[in-house]
Each structure stands twice: as C-alpha cells, then as structure tokens.
C-alpha cells in the first residue's frame, strides 16, 4: 500500500467538507502524513458595472474569515497529533485545487461530495466531479455526515 505523505483536504466550511476533514485527519494520523487544508476564494466579478455601484474588494475579509475557520478545524486534529497546514488559493475552485495538488506533490485528496448548496451545484456544476476526473492522485470522496459511516 502507498504511504501518503501529503494529503489535501479542500474546505468550504460546509458540513460535508467538515466531515471530509475528519476523514482526512484520521488518514493523516494513521500515515504520519501532513494534512493540508485548502480554501479557495472564488474570484467572481460582481455585476457592479451594470448596477452603477462601485466594485468592492472583499477578498481580504474573506481570507481573514477562512483563516479563522481553518484554525478552528485544525485545533482539534492537531491535539490528536496530526500535522496540519492551512492554505488559501484564489480562482475557480476545481482549477485551484488541482493546481495546488500538482505543485505541492499531494499524494491524496480527501474531498466532500457536495459543497455549500444545491443551487451552487445547479449553477456551477460539481467541484468534486471535476477534481475526480482530472486529479493525478487518488481522490477519496466523503458524503454528507448524515449518509456516512464512522471510521
């Protein structure tokens, strides 16, 4: 069996990504691997040009929020012995996840089955599906906590 050294866990702070994090942390502890939390800030241009409103750059606030949320996630797992690093990327979620995985020599991606909402899925498609199709390393997909088994 392959020994995992770097495990990537993309998080959007939904219940499903939190559950994927629990799985990722357990696997990282078992293999003595580094668990990398990655939050992608989607840079979606607002329709301010058409509304006459000035464009607002909220990415600094979003990054501050993301770092605080990742620190909260990591606190419990670090106490359990996992080595955790938190990173932020910008761009389209699936593209940023795949690019990060390639550039950082990730051995395994642990990702939630669905993200924030069904509306996001309907409008933008599934980030998870795109990651599965294009990833150069194994991907473990973790369902919503209501449909998952204990590890």
| pLDDT tens-digit series, residues 91-110 | 999 999 999 999 999 999 99
24 occurs within a structural domain: yes
Q: State the first-to-last Cα distance of the chain, in angstroms, to the nearest integer.
A: 19
Q: What is the pLDDT of residue 146?
A: 74
Q: How far is CA 21 from CA 41, 48, 76, 111, 126, in A?
A: 18, 35, 11, 8, 18
pLDDT digits (tens, 9 = 90+) for 16-71: 899 999 999 999 999 999 999 999 998 766 555 555 555 556 678 999 999 999 99
Predicted pLDDT of residue 49: 54
Residue 126 lies in a domain: yes
Structural domain containing residue 100: 6-45+58-145
Q: How many domains does the chain have?
A: 1
Q: Do the domain assignments include residue 120?
A: yes
Q: Is residue 28 part of a domain?
A: yes
The model's pLDDT over 123-136, given as tens digits with 9 standing for 90+, comes to 445 899 999 999 99
Assess if residue 50 is contained within a domain. no
The CATH number covering residue 91 comes to 3.40.50.620
């Amino acid at each position: 069996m392959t020994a995992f050294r770097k495990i990537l866990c993309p998080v959007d702070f939904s219940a499903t990504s939190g559950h994927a994090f629990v799985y990722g942390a357990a696997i990282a502890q078992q293999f003595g691997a580094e668990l990398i939390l990655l939050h992608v800030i989607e840079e979606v241009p607002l329709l301010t040009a058409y509304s006459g409103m000035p464009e607002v750059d909220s990415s600094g606030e979003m990054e501050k929020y993301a770092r605080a949320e990742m620190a909260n996630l990591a606190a419990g797992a670090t106490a359990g012995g996992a080595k955790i690093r938190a990173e932020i990327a910008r761009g389209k979620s699936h593209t940023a996840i795949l690019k990060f995985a390639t550039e950082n020599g990730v051995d395994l991606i642990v990702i939630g089955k669905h993200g924030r909402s069904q509306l996001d899925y309907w409008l933008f498609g599934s980030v998870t599906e795109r990651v599965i199709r294009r990833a150069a390393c194994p991907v473990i997909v973790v369902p919503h906590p209501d449909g998952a088994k204990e590890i």
